[in-house]
Chain A
Amino acid sequence: MANPYGKNARSNAFNWFLHRITGTFLIFLLITHFWVQHYDAQTATVTAAVVEHGASPVYPEAAQQAVQARGVAVGEVTAYDVVMQRLADPVYAVLWKGFNILFLVFALHHGFYGLNNVLGDYIRNDFARVTVLALSWTLALVLLIVGLYSVITAGVGYGA
């Protein structure tokens, strides 16, 4: 291993090291995610003042033009179309899906390793602790599979 942590098989130091690496990456991944998904004028989920039970966001003219420029026959631009600009794009979809998969893997490892640190600190009974840790990693694995499936299949056949 290239780093000095985790050479002893029983130590969890390699995960401790990864926790810091994934955390640092997540700062940059989150800035990008928040920007393109919530603050950019074309996606406009935070900046659009849509507050209403069950209301769909109304997208600015620029977003409508961008979607229609793709030659997609949609009458009204919906939230789905705006996301599909990235996930169904013939060129950028691979990059965005790669971004999302990296994000998913890092966020799940970071979140569940951290959660297990917290749980391991407070659950004193050995059997209960091991059971809870196993259950939480199982949940993480389920979320990984569900998330990978959603990201990979998103946009397949869009506009067809």
Chain B
Amino acid sequence: MALDTVERSRPQPVLKYKVRTGMFAWMVHRLTGVALVAYIIIHVWGLRSLTDRDSFNALIASYHAPIFKIGEFLLLAAVAYHALNGLRIVLIDFLGWSPHHKKVFWTLGIVAVLIILIGGYPSIYALIAYYS
């Protein structure tokens, strides 16, 4: 590709993104997306134990270590953000909402924060109760 050769001859800056609303949304969408793929690999692989009573109970018991309460919270946060920003992408692509993409970002952002705070409260509460 011609473009490739032109670009390769110049030194590449590490990060040349101009971080504004849309770019910020896109970057976090990618980061949470890659994290969720890493999670689904572990999750599906772990569920092999679904075929055996003792190993399934051992797996669930291992998930009750305090560190997993933080993991649970971060997972919810990543899922909530990725789902709602994904909805924003669908609205932009299919319904032509791109003129409003910033407004949609902040509106769905507030919804995401509410979901994370309300849905994540039990995990954080359990953790605080354990250590106090």
Q: Is B110 an interface residue (CB 8 A)?
A: no
Contact B72 A57, beta carbon cutoff 8 Å: no
- Cβ < 8 Å to B, chain A residues 87-138: 87, 104, 107-108, 111-112, 114-115, 118, 124
B125 cross-chain contacts in A, Cβ below 8 A: 49
Contact with A along B86-128 (1 / 0, CB 8 A): 1101100110000000000000000000000001001101110
Contact A47 to B122, CB < 8 A, known contacts A56-B64, A78-B53, A150-B48: yes
B33 cross-chain contacts in A, Cβ below 8 A: 111, 114-115, 118
Q: Which of A39, A47, A139 contacts B41 (CB 8 A)?
A: A139
Expressed in whole angstroms, the minimum distance between the Cβ of B65 and any Cβ of chain A is 5
Interface centre among B56, B72, B129, by most chain A C-beta atoms within 10 angstroms, is B56
Contact A20 to B93, CB < 8 A, known contacts A54-B65, A108-B40, A118-B34: yes
CB closest chain-B residue, reference A31 = B83
Expressed in whole angstroms, the minimum distance between the Cβ of B79 and any Cβ of chain A is 6
Contact A27 B37, beta carbon cutoff 8 Å: no
Q: Is A73 an interface residue (CB 8 A)?
A: no
- Cβ < 8 Å to A, chain B residues 45-95: 45, 47-48, 50-51, 53, 56-57, 60-62, 64-66, 69, 72, 76, 79, 83, 86-87, 89-90, 93-94
Contact A55 B127, beta carbon cutoff 8 Å: no
Compute how far the CA of A34 lies from the CA of B83 in the bound complex, rounded to whole angstroms. 13
Q: Which of A55, A83, A111, A112 contacts B50 (CB 8 A)?
A: A83
Q: Is B6 an interface residue (CB 8 A)?
A: no
A–B complex contacts, Cβ < 8 Å, 19 sampled: A20-B89, A20-B93, A24-B86, A24-B87, A24-B90, A39-B122, A47-B122, A49-B130, A51-B64, A51-B69, A56-B61, A57-B60, A57-B64, A79-B57, A111-B36, A111-B40, A149-B48, A151-B47, A154-B51
Q: Top 8 nearest A-B pairs by Cβ distance?
A: A79-B60, A51-B130, A49-B126, A111-B37, A154-B50, A150-B50, A147-B44, A23-B86
